[in-house]
Structure 1
Amino acid sequence: MTSTPHLRRPDQSHLRQEWGTVADNALRLERDAAERLVTALNSEVSGLYILFNQVRKHYWLAEGAEWGPVSGFLEDAADRLTEITDDIAIRITALGGVPACGPMGIRQHAPIYVEDAHHYDIRSSLERDLDGYATLAVQWREHIELADRLGDTATSELLRRHLETLEADAHVLDRYLADDTLVLHDATR
């Protein structure tokens, strides 16, 4: 029988910056503006983390007649969410903040909820994924406007570029969920 080593809390003397603080930034963006943007972007990162985990779970559990294309899309979508998360977290750091991390921090700041661990049918799973994408897209549009108002063109452009990716993936999900039938429904019957 092997023993599991216990993880120790990090020595706080090595702490460079506390979570929730915004330091001066090399971008010379005013601290108040940087703080507002870091808060907004941490909400994005949190939502992306939750959506990534949900999409990845659905990839693992996908089954049925369209397993191949659905599974392939979900795998690629999860990879895109990872790339977007990294870009946003790097921007938070450039603004002088600390990116959200850890389950409690992420849940606290996310605009979407963590899905229960159960195995759901694929249609319900994809509907929840689409809802997550739509929720993030609405929030991102608001944060693009915030970045524009605060004069942070780089953050605005970063969010716009990734919003296009989120919207494209939402469109694919919407097409998977379409009522697809070749049968004409006669309303007179």
Structure 2
Amino acid sequence: MAKLSKTRNTLGENARLASVNLLNAALADLIDLSNAVKMAHWNVKGPQFAALHLLFETFYDQLAEAVDDTAERVVQLGGTPEGTTQQVGAATRLAAYPADLKDGIKHVTALAERYAALATTTREAIDAADEAGDADTADLFTATSRTLDKALWMLEAHLG
């Protein structure tokens, strides 16, 4: 459970605490997914190499923005982002990414599974932040959800 620092943010302490916990859970998943995307970017092989290599780089950049927004929201609420490698490894809810993948379509499939899982927990976080009374955090999760859903659509388009 998170400990909050003093802040002039007028959102109630219970709402801030609930949101910090939601945000840190999402942060671990976002960092884990961004690492998986970078692995795919580095290791993709096959006839779709050029297109997938660039697509994965775009996804990585989008996730970097979501990671930063999420971590900064934690701080705004008086929390501490939990983004070290050890914290992420212990907290991620995503399945481990296969380190030996090379084939482009196998990378697409593995990423689609993880994007779908994170999109699901992100939609749940929208509702939980809203229920806690933190509309701004719910809005952040909504923006992240749109990014994840768009990337998932693009991955699924590759799968036919």
TM-score bracket for this pair, using the shorter chain length: over 0.9
Match of 2:77 in 1: 95
Match of 2:14 in 1: 32
Q: Which of 37, 40, 47 in structure 2 is aligned with 1:65?
A: 47
Listed one character per residue, the Cα deviations across residues 120-141 of structure 1 (whole Å, up to 9, x for unaligned) are 4222221111111111111111
Q: Give, in angstroms, the shift of residue 51 of structure 1.
A: 0.6
Q: Give, in angstroms, the shift of residue 119 of structure 1.
A: 3.3
Q: Distance in 2 between matches of 1:20 and 1:126?
A: 35
Q: Distance in 1 between matches of 2:6 and 2:116?
A: 33
TM-score by length of 2: 0.93
Q: Give, in angstroms, the shift of residue 62 of structure 1.
A: 1.3
SS at match of 1:125: helix
Match of 1:140 in 2: 122
Q: Give, in angstroms, the shift of residue 25 of structure 1.
A: 3.0
Question: Where is the helix percentage greater, Structure 1 or Structure 2?
Answer: 2
Aligned pairs for 1:8-27 (under 5 A) are 20-27=2-9
Q: Distance in 1 between matches of 2:126 and 2:22?
A: 10
Is 1:168 aligned with 2:150?
A: yes
When residues 103 and 114 of structure 1 are mapped into structure 2, their CA distance, relative to the original with a 3 A threshold, is farther
TM-score by length of 1: 0.80
Whichever residue aligns with residue 122 of structure 2, its letter is W
Give structure 2 stretches of 5+ with no counterpart.
Answer: none
Decide which structure has the larger Cα Rg and report it.
1
Is 1:106 aligned with 2:68?
A: no
Q: Is the 8 A contact 2:130 2:138 kept in 1?
A: yes
Match of 2:139 in 1: 157
Q: Distance in 1 between matches of 2:136 and 2:2?
A: 22
Which structure has more relative contact order (CA 8 Å, sep 6+)? It is: 2
Identity %: 26
Listed one character per residue, the Cα deviations across residues 128-163 of structure 1 (whole Å, up to 9, x for unaligned) are 111111111111111111111122111111111121
Q: CA RMSD in A?
A: 1.5
Match of 1:122 in 2: 104
Equivalent residues, number: 160
